[in-house]
Amino acid sequence: MASALAGTYWENYGYIGELYTASRKETPFLSAIGYINEGIGGGKVTTNFEFPVANQYSLTAAAGTAITEDATKSAPGYVDHALTQYKNVCEIHYLGVEATYVALATWGRISGVATAGQVMTLDDLLAHKIMIRLAEIARNIEYRFLGVGSDYACSTDADVANKTRGLIECASNASNTVAAGSIDLNKDLVQTLLRTMYAAGAQFVDPVIIVNAFQKQKISEIFGYAPTDRNIGGVDIKQIEIDLIGNVPVLLDPIQPTSVLTVADLGVCSPVFQQVPGKPLGIFYEEHGRTAAMISGQLFGMIGLDHGPYFAHGTITGLTTS
C-alpha cells in the first residue's frame, strides 16, 4: 500500500477489539516525583528557562582543637563559606497532531474482523492521537530526567536547544560513579556505591534504586531469600534493607539503560515547568488555524528537572547486560 498523508483515514483504520501497544508506556520516575502523564504537572514553576537546583557550601575539615585561655583574649579568625549555585534548564517538548475531516467523519467504517455487538476501538480519532503523543512526550521526558545520553545544554541563542540535566549526569558530576568494568551486578558494587555517596554528602532522604529488567532480576538473585516450600519458589525483590541507606524501593524502569544502576533521592527531585502566559500548566494541546479540510494542532510544554545537589545521586556503570 502506498504511503498516505499522515492524519488521513487510510492510516487510521477503524477496528473492533481491544487496543494494545508493544511499546512500554510506563514512566515510573516521573510518576514518583509528581508528574502526571496526561500532561498536568505537579511540580514547580519558573519564569526563566534556567533555574537553581542547589546552593552548595563546604564546612572546614573536622579537627581537634588546642585553644588556650590566652588565645581567647583575641578575636578568632574568620572563614568564608563560599556558596556555589548549581542550575538546570527547562527544555521544549513540541509534537504535532493532525487528522483530516474525512478521517474524523469516517470513524464508523470498520476494517479487519467485524462481529456484531462489539464496540469500535476508536470513536474519537483526534483524542486518540493526542493521547499517543502525550505518552511519547512523557517517555521523552523520562529519558532526559534519567540522564540517558548525559548531554546537558543551556541555550545561548534561538537555534540552540536547552537540554535538561538528568540523574546519570548528576552522579558523574559528583564523582558518585562506580565503574563495574563489564562484570555482573553484585553486592560489593552496591555497597561501594553507597559508601561513595555517603562520603560525598548524600543524605538518602527518599532513596530509590532505578534499574532496567535485566538488573532487576540480578537484584532479586543477589538480595533474594526464598524460604523452603514444596509448592512455591522464587523471589521478586521490590525493596532492599541495606546498610547506610535503610529501606530502599527498587524502581523498574523500561527507559533506564540496562548497563546502569542508579541510586536517586526522590526527596530532592521535582519537575519544573516554564508556563506560557494564558496557557495551562504542563504539556498542553492547542489547535492550529485550520488549513483546508484538516484539523492540525500541537502539543507544547517546557519542563526541566530540579535534581537537587549532584551528590544526592549515584550510579554503577558498565554492568553486563546479558
CA 216 and chain centroid, separation: 17
Per-residue confidence (pLDDT) for residue 114, from 0 to 100: 57
Neighbours of 83 (CB within 10 A): 10
Pairing of strands 50-56, 284-287: unpaired
Which residues, in sequence order, are CB contacts of 194 under 8 Å at separation 6+?
A: 242, 243, 244, 245, 263, 314
The string over 238-277, giving b where at least 16 C-beta atoms fall within 10 Å of a residue's C-beta and e elsewhere, is: eebebeebeebebbbbebbbebbbbbbbbebbbbbbbbee
For residue 247, what are the β-bridge partners? 241
Per-residue confidence (pLDDT) for residue 189, from 0 to 100: 97
Residues 35/41, Cβ–Cβ less than 8 Å = yes
Per-residue confidence (pLDDT) for residue 36, from 0 to 100: 52
Spell out the per-residue pLDDT of the chain, length 322, in tens. 333 446 666 665 555 555 566 778 889 999 999 865 444 445 788 999 999 999 888 888 888 989 888 988 899 888 888 888 999 999 999 999 888 888 887 766 666 665 555 555 556 778 888 888 999 999 999 999 999 988 999 999 999 999 999 999 999 999 999 999 999 999 999 999 999 999 999 999 999 999 999 999 999 999 988 777 777 778 888 999 988 888 999 999 999 999 999 999 999 999 999 999 999 888 999 998 777 888 889 999 999 999 999 999 999 999 999 9
* Class of domain 9-55+84-227+234-317 as given by CATH: alpha beta
Which amino acid, residue 102?
A: V
